[in-house]
């Protein structure tokens, strides 16, 4: 699913109704790692490609959408659009 808007990992996780712990389990990383990806988006660029693939799959987005997290959109507006 290619997104027209840009969302942060945290917003995508919220949209999917997952906690950091749930997403971490699906991706196979620690909850702390998910927290770092959310608070320091540049860290994702250092992740293994397989981790990024699993993250995109868990969030139901294309891999490219994982890196398009510069625009901040309120989660309420995301829910209204979906």
Nearest-angstrom CA–CA distance, 52 and 56? 6
**What string of H, E and C letters represents the secondary structure of the chain?**
CCCCCCCCHHHHHHHCCCCHHHHHHHHCCCHHHHHHHHHCHHHHHHCCHHHHHHHHHHHCCCHHHHHCCCCCCCHHHHHHHC
pTM above 0.85, yes or no: no
In order of start, what are the domains of the chain with their CATH numbers?
Answer: 9-81 (1.10.260.40)
pLDDT at 77: 46
What is the pLDDT confidence band of residue 82, given thresholds at 50, 70 and 90?
very low
pLDDT at 4: 55
* pLDDT tens figures, 18-71: 999 999 999 999 999 999 999 988 888 889 999 999 999 999 999 888 875 444
């Amino acid at each position: 699913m290619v997104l027209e808007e840009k969302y942060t990992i945290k917003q995508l996780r919220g949209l999917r109704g997952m906690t950091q712990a749930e997403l971490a389990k699906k991706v196979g990383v620690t909850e702390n790692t998910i927290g770092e990806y959310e608070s320091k988006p540049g860290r994702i660029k250092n992740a293994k490609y397989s981790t990024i693939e699993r993250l995109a799959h868990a969030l139901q987005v294309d891999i490219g959408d994982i890196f398009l997290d510069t625009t901040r959109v309120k989660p309420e507006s995301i829910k209204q659009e979906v």
